């Protein structure tokens, strides 16, 4: 089984726990925070990855750090991830879990890139049109890229909708270079 399939399975297990507890979004925040710690804190990552610390000691530290601050069921889940040596998958589990929760809740995430900052009215219009297009609630994140020159680029999952001036100029350049039939 490949890493991503294993991460999806672990995310599915967490989804079941979150549903049982009525805490889908809370668990999303928690797994995201732990995945961020693993990804962004070299000391935490090294602690989990080093063979010098036994798994019992790792679990004891995790229980001490997270105990009382997270639901017991989430803590037990995290301890199993560590015991099964799946801590390297935490970022992938985080992503797979968010995708599963979004699917269950009828949401879709969109990454929207514009050449210039979007004001509130434009963001609302884009969100509304995307919600209508996908027939789901859209959770949008915005970023700027001056290289687009103008227009918009939208990424939803594997789907990319590129309405940028940069792409249009590239297409025009390609069209002008093609030999035309007479």
- Residue-wise pLDDT for 76-109, tens only, equals 999 999 999 999 999 999 999 999 999 999 999 9
Number of H helices, E strands in the chain: 8, 4
What is the pTM assigned to this prediction?
A: 0.74
In CATH, what is the architecture of 3-103? Orthogonal Bundle (1.10)
Q: What pLDDT, on the 0 to 100 scale, is given for residue 177?
A: 85
**Which pair of tokens denotes residue 85?**
């040596």
Per CATH, is 106-177 categorized as 3.40.30? yes
- Residue-wise pLDDT for 119-171, tens only, equals 999 999 999 999 999 999 999 999 999 888 888 999 988 889 888 888 888 88
How far apart (Å, rounded) are the C-alpha atoms in residues 166 and 150?
Answer: 7
Contact 117, 32 (CB under 8 A): no
pLDDT of 178 strictly over 90: no
Residues of the chain with CATH 1.10.520.20: 3-103
Residues of the chain with CATH 3.40.30: 106-177
Beta strand ranges found along 6-45 (DSSP E): none
CA angle 64, 69, 70 (to 5 degrees): 100
Residue 166's contacts (CB-CB under 8 Å, 6 or more residues apart) are 147, 148, 149, 151
């Amino acid at each position: 089984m490949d890493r991503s399939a294993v991460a999806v399975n672990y995310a599915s297990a967490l989804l079941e726990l979150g549903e049982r507890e009525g805490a889908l979004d809370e668990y999303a925040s928690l797994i995201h925070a732990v995945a961020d710690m693993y990804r962004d804190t070299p000391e935490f990552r090294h602690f989990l990855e080093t063979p010098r610390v036994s798994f019992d000691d790792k679990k004891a530290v995790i229980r001490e750090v997270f105990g009382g601050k997270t639901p017991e069921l989430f803590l037990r889940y995290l301890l199993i991830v560590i015991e099964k040596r799946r801590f390297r998958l935490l970022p992938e589990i985080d992503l797979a879990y968010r995708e599963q929760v979004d699917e269950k809740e009828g949401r879709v995430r969109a990454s929207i890139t514009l050449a210039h900052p979007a004001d509130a009215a434009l963001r609302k219009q884009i969100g509304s049109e995307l919600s209508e297009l996908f027939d789901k609630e859209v959770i949008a994140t915005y970023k700027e890229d001056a290289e687009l020159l103008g227009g918009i680029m939208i990424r939803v999952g594997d789907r990319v909708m590129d309405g940028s001036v940069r792409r249009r100029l590239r297409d025009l350049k390609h069209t002008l270079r093609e030999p035309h039939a007479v």
